[in-house]
Amino acid sequence: MKNRSKRWAWLLLLLAAAVLFSGCKVEFPQDRLTGESSLSAQSLPESATSVLPEESSLPQASSQPDGTSLSSQPANGGENGTALTKPSSQQSKDPQQPSGSSSAQSQTSASQVGEGASAPSSGAPQTLTCTLSIRCDNILKHMDLLDPARREFVPASGVIYAARQVTFQEGESVYDVLKREADAAGIPLTKSGNALFKTIYITSIQNLREKDCGEAGGWMYRVNGQSPGMSCSAYRLKDGDRVEWAYTVVKGDVGIVEGSQ
């Protein structure tokens, strides 16, 4: 029994001596992990480590809740090498609409509205002016030829409608203006012919009829001192025209030798 104990004691001594001379190192689990990490780093070839980029050269960006991005690159000399970059306002616009077109269109619309307010519509008739007068002073020179029943209708001045400026619409005729102004002034007016065929003929104004003062008596009109040579319903007035109606007794007394209404 004692021999066996001695034998075990010698074996333990030999084992301890072998361990000391062999230089073996007993490592705990934590030391083993640390050793493996350091060994892995040291065992990498230089070519492998040189390929890996440095942390400072890698771009870093983080998305913010409001849609901004934090860049590691300096922007416009910003401090700490960081800059906040917000989404461009143009990206929120319609991609088919070029930048600045919205303001250009609003300016164009405003310009168009201003022009439309100052310019008359092409579809609306334009208001023009002319001068109108109605006289029968030639009768005063030939009262002996006048029908006695019509004397009361002749004014002492021979002026039935004093020359004045009146308005008319584009496309209106001499007859249109005469009829409208006579009605407004309460001057009786009669006619014959057909307005559709532009053959209106004035038979009386202020109850003074044709042939009431001689066989050649009747109403004639001039425009700018000339006889148009057509029915008063056929002549289309122009802006600034001077229209004169006069009762003629003899040829040439109204400055018209030949012509008609």
| DSSP secondary structure code for residue 134 in this structure | E
Please state the domain count of the chain. Answer: 1
Judge whether 94 lies within some domain. Answer: no
What is the domain-level CATH number for residue 190?
Answer: 2.170.130.30
149 within a domain of the structure (yes/no) = yes
CB of 230 closer than 8 Å to CB of 220: no
Is 175 domain-assigned? yes
Give yes or no for a contact between 87 and 96, defined as CB atoms under 8 angstroms apart.
no
pLDDT band, residue 14 (cuts 50/70/90) = confident
Q: Which of 42-46, 59-63, 117-121, 227-231 has the highest mean predicted lDDT (pLDDT)? A: 227-231
Residues 89 and 102: their CA atoms lie apart, in Å, by 13
- Coil, strand or helix at 32: helix
pLDDT tens for 47-102 read: 444 444 444 444 454 444 454 444 444 444 444 444 444 444 444 444 444 444 44
Q: Residue 51 domain-assigned?
A: no
Q: What predicted TM-score, i.e. pTM, was given to this entire model?
A: 0.53
Q: Which residue range is the domain that position 133 belongs to?
A: 127-248
With beta carbons less than 8 A apart as the criterion, state whether 200 and 193 touch.
yes
Q: How far is CA 117 from the centre of its chain?
A: 11
Domain presence at residue 4 = no
In a domain, 233, yes or no: yes
Report the percent of the chain where pLDDT is more than 70.
Answer: 56
Nearest by Cα to 127 from 18, 237, 261 = 237
Domain assignment of residue 172, yes or no: yes
The mean pLDDT of 115-140, rounded to a whole number, is 77
Question: Does residue 204 fall inside a structural domain?
Answer: yes
User: pLDDT class for 124, splitting at 50, 70, 90?
Assistant: low
pLDDT for residue 25 is more than 60: no
The whole-angstrom separation of Cα 9 and Cα 223 is 156
In the predicted model, what is the mean pLDDT of residues 5-18? 78
